[in-house]
Amino acid sequence: ETQDSFFSVRDIHAYYGESYIVQGVSFDLNKGEVLSLLGRNGAGKTTTLRTLARLDNPQLRSGEIWLNGEPLHNKKSHQAAQMGIQLVPEDRRIIGGLTVEENLVLSQVSGEIGWEIEKIYEYFPRLAERRKQEAPTMSGGEQQMLAVARALARDIKVLFLDEPYEGLAPVIVQEIEGIVRQIRDIGITTIIVEQNAVAALRLSDRAVIMDTGQIVYEGTAQEVLDNEQLRHEYLAI
Ligand code: ATP
C-alpha cells in the first residue's frame, strides 16, 4: 500500500479503560507542516497526542497511523520513538538532579542521535549559558526550551508539543515560537496542542479543532483566525 502524505491519521479510536475518548479522528500532514490541535478543556487533545506517540495508555482500539509509509498503529512507544516520533508532555519531564547538559546527553544515549550538543547550544544560547546548571532550578521557559532541545537531540521526524506555552510570559512564548519556526524550516513536522490558540495559530499552517473526541473543524490557520463563530465557540478568543 502506498501512502501519499508524510504523517497520516486514519479514523483512530482510543480509550482510557472503558472511557471512550478519541472517537474517530483523521488528518494528514505533509513533511515540515505545523498543525494546531485546538479545542476546549477535555476535548481529547492530549489523549490524541498520547495515542499518536503510541503510549500504553490510552489504548488504540481501531484506526491507522502512518509515518512516511510505515505503520505506527502496531508499534509501542519506544518503537515509535525510534521511528522519529517525540512527545514533549505538558509537565516537560525534566530530569531532576541532572544538569542541562546531562539531560541532553541522556536523551542522545537513548536513541538515534539527532542534533549534536554544540548545534543545540547554537540554537538555544540560553541553554549554553546554563549547561552546568541543575535543570529543575531553571525558569519555566528555560525548562520548556530544554524539553524541546532534548527532543532535537534525538533523530526526530515528528514533534508533538503539549501546551508548550503554559505558564510562560509573552516574551518567552515568542522565543519558543522562534524555535518552532526553525524546527519547521528544517523539515520537522509538528503538532501543537495549546490553550493560547492565537500564539499557536500564528506559526501553524493548518488547524484542527476537536470537541468531545471528534474533529469539528479543519482548515488553514488563517481560516480559523478569520472565523469569529469558531473562535467564540471553541477557542475563547
Ligand atoms: P486539556 O486541555 O484539559 O488537557 P484535552 O483536550 O487535552 O484537555 P484530554 O486531556 O485528552 O483533553 O482529556 C479528554 C478526556 O479524557 C477528559 O474527559 C479526561 O477526563 C479524560 N482522561 C484524561 N486522562 C485520563 C486518564 N488517564 N484516565 C481516564 N480518563 C482520562
Q: Whole-prediction pTM value?
A: 0.94
For the CA of 162, the nearest atom of ligand 1: 7
131: CA distance to ligand 1 center in Å?
Answer: 35
pLDDT band of 119, cuts 50, 70, 90: very high
Atom 28 of ligand 1: nearest residue by CA position: 16
Report ipTM for this prediction.
0.95
Atom 11 of ligand 1: nearest residue by CA position: 44
3-state secondary structure 165-226: CCCCCHHHHHHHHHHHHHHHHCCCEEEEECCCHHHHHCCCCEEEEEECCEEEEEEEHHHHHH
Question: Does ligand 1 come within 6 angstroms of the Cβ of 43?
Answer: yes
pLDDT band of 1, cuts 50, 70, 90: very low
94: CA distance to ligand 1 center in Å?
Answer: 22
pLDDT band of 108, cuts 50, 70, 90: confident
